[in-house]
Structure 1
Amino acid sequence: MKDLNTPILLSGPGDVSLPWAQRIVSRYAGQAKVKAVNLASVDVGTSTRLRIEVDHDAPELLPQRWFVKTPSLAWKSRAITALPRFLHKEVRFYQRLSGHIPLKMPRILAAESRFGRGSILVMSDLAEHDFRPGRAADALSVEQARLVVGHLAKLHGRYWNRPAVLHQHRWLNGFSQQVEHSMGALLAVPLMKRGLARAGGYVVTGLHKPAIRYAANRRRYKRLLANEPMTLVHYDCHPGNIFWTDREPGFLDWQLVRWGEGVGDIAYFLATGLQPELRRAHERSLLQHYAAELESAGVGAVNDNALFRRYQAHLVYPFEAMTVTLAIGGMMQAEANLELVRRTAIAAADHDSFAILEP
């Protein structure tokens, strides 16, 4: 690569230009020329996502369809994500950790973060490789779920209870997570109440009081959901953050990556990714598959009953996350958000998950 220090930050879609694309192409092929740049689409949610077609004469070195993430143009989403610097954290993840992760991920072409000026990720568009992106409200099959669970076990097994690696990457649970927890504690009750009101009949009334009680005591419950052993977790593993290469899953959107309890990823994924009837029928066997894959990765014997109990407890978080997302608005397509609220609410109610967290 060349000219790694040449700035590539964008203040908005209007900054996409031939000279901007040329700065990125020149990192890979100094003599290559960009002939044209077309901004194909703009999607605004938790971040601003641009699809860009770049006509250049080095297609053997880098793709011609790019996917770009910049800070959200929606003021509410930006207010929630800017202070904890979620996109900055994802940039740091791709720069420092992604090369060691045993999962399929998109090819990163450029990544930059400058304090006070913003962050940007430029990656190969999934369509360049005929990969199929997931959608947030996709209802996955048992076979797909088994694949995702197995891949998450590989990730968790790689970093399972490794304090030296945790110490090396303390930034994962550093400033970003501290700000997130502080903001969450401050806003938890009003956002939970607003989300429940907006959800209407998608959430059974029996969940309202325990959900608000959880929000009022969020710091304590979060500590209960962060037991040992710790590992590297995605923390936002819903179908929209998964893509498919033939039959194999790949993983996107690492803005919330951190050290945490691995089964939390499994709870989040199964609660969001499966229709309730399918989850009820197969969640125990999928948890057993997860345990077996962890053991194959060398973490030692896993107690199936204890693992299932922790899974039940962790189901409160996907419900909280989707309800708060609904309360804020503009961070996810509304119909998909409501469907994920419905699925996660049913999962939490099925297992009486809020009660499990009570002393």
Structure 2
Amino acid sequence: MATRSLFTALGLGMAMTEAVRAGLDRSLPGGGSIPLRAHQANTQWLEAAFGLAPGTVRSVSVVDEHSGTAARARLAVDTDAADVPGHLFLKFAPHHYSQHVLMNVFGLGAREVFAYHALGERPPVLTPRCYAASVNRFRGRAVVLLEDLSSTARFRTVRDSVTPTEAEAVVDALADLHIAFWETARFSGDLKPLVARAPAADRLGDLIRRRLLGTMKGEAANLVPEPMKRQCRMFFERSRDIDAFWAALPQTLIHGDPHLGNLFFKGDSPGLLDWQNAMSGTGIRDVAYFAAASVEPEVLRKIERGLVERYAARLDAANIRADLDDLWVWYGAAMTEFFLAAVCTAEAGDTMQPFEISRVGVERCVASVAAHDSFTLLANLVDSNRT
């Protein structure tokens, strides 16, 4: 209890530190190597990012810009440099102060930078090409400069759904990502920042989950059954035990947030966007999260066993042995992952997402958790891991 109280105090201290850091970063000059606003990605910055001689880029203009959990902008570039496309996509610190603090506390911008470095020049899964990715920990800024997919890819929203064939393609892509990083020694080296958050950050996460889930008062309250409201308290009451259970399973690089809003399609091939939640983890968590978030519940119930079998077969073809029965149980327990994300988003209100959008996620996650009795599964697995 004393240790938990200490980490809780440290978590609050971390939040205060990052609040001050974000405030100073917005008010003090400097930090120009990483833009805080889209207009700061000027000709000189772009030339430095691409390693070009001064004067190579004639102009850079912001085509459009918006901000949520991160800020995003499309840039139009006038240059004769062969390696620089005419349009680019910039992702950087959010405009809203509280979102900026949240990004710093949980290292979301830094995680995305590390993820793109990990994926490298030949990523095992389709992603936008990354031209630059850097982080300034002192200022609390991070930026990624990416291929602009707006004219070459098809996008969906979180309210959309995928067909069974598309779901199979996404599961194949997730398996390929997981295979490439399965039990990699890099988690002790260059990918160590993706292994775990600081204990203080985890305890701060507990406080946020307690506030949002302890007594649901927002839009999700009428959509979550009362027994499920009680069960989901384990997210903050037993968070360390839950983390320990998942950490005891084989680890790989997982995307962490593969809902339809973070996917795109080129032809029949799916790709992944938004790597802010990338981490070492159990691959089946990605599969369950995607399925619960992106497939209509009545369709998912018919195909989900086949999706898990397909995932297991793809691992097996790469000489990674995974027991199908274990994967199926873990898949059912991992449905709680999307529940946590969807319900917390809805309970946070319009500052995170309009309810007409978040409602779909809550309805889908509730259906999946109910179908698998996921919280009971997770509690049993956590208890078994402790014995």
CA distance in 1, matches of 2:201, 2:311: 29
Tell me what 1:44 maps to. Answer: 67
2:270 pairs with 225, 241, 249, which one? Answer: 249
- Match for 2:40: what amino acid? D
In structure 1, what is the Cα distance between the partners aligned to 2:256 and 2:232?
20
Which residue of 50, 54, 68 maps to 2:77?
54
The 1:193–1:78 alpha-carbon spacing in structure 2 relative to 1, beyond 3 Å, is: farther
Contact 1:214 1:354 in 2 (8 A): no
AA paired with 2:358?
N
Partner of residue 291, structure 2: 270
- Counterpart of 2:28 in structure 1 is none
CA contact (8 A) 1:155 1:232 kept: yes
TM-score by length of 2: 0.83
Q: Which runs of 5+ in 2 are unaligned?
A: 1-30
CA 1:341–1:226 in structure 2 vs 1: closer, same or farther (change >3 Å)?
farther
CA offsets 1:46-71 (integer angstroms, 9 cap, x no match)? 1111111122222x312111111111
Structure 1: distance between partners of 2:266 and 2:199: 35
2:135: which partner in 1? 113
> Which runs of 5 or more residues in structure 1 are unaligned?
1-5
Q: Hey, what's the Cα distance between the residues in 1 that align with 2:134 and 2:94?
A: 16
Q: Contact (CA 8 Å) 1:126, 1:133: kept in 2 or not? A: no
**2:155 matched residue in structure 1:** 133
Counterpart of 2:348? 328
Report deviation, 1:335. 2.4
Q: CA–CA distance in 1 between the matches of 2:367 and 2:163?
A: 18
Q: What amino acid is aligned across from residue 317 of structure 1 in structure 2?
A: E
Correspondence for 2:330 among 305, 310, 317: 310
Which residue of 284, 288, 295 maps to 2:305?
284
Question: How far, CA to CA, are the matches of 2:363 and 2:201 in structure 1?
Answer: 25
1:71-101 Cα offsets, whole Å, 9 max, x none, are 1112332222212221112112223443363
Equivalent position of 1:293 in the other structure: 314
Q: What RMSD over aligned residues (CA atoms) do the two structures have, in Å?
A: 2.2
Aligned to 2:35: 10
Structure 2 vs 1, CA of residues 276 and 119 (structure 1 numbering), >3 Å: closer, same or farther? Answer: same
Contact kept in structure 1, 2:32 and 2:40, CA below 8 Å: no
Counterpart residue number, 1:94: 116
Q: Distance in 2 between matches of 1:326 and 1:11?
A: 28
Q: Which amino acid aligns with 2:249?
A: E
The 1:311–1:196 alpha-carbon spacing in structure 2 relative to 1, beyond 3 Å, is: farther
1:65 and 2:87 matched? yes
What code does the residue aligned with 2:129 have? R
TM normalised by structure 1 equals 0.89
Same amino acid, percent of matched pairs? 27
**Corresponding position of 1:3:** none
Question: How far, CA to CA, are the matches of 2:198 and 2:155 in structure 1?
Answer: 28
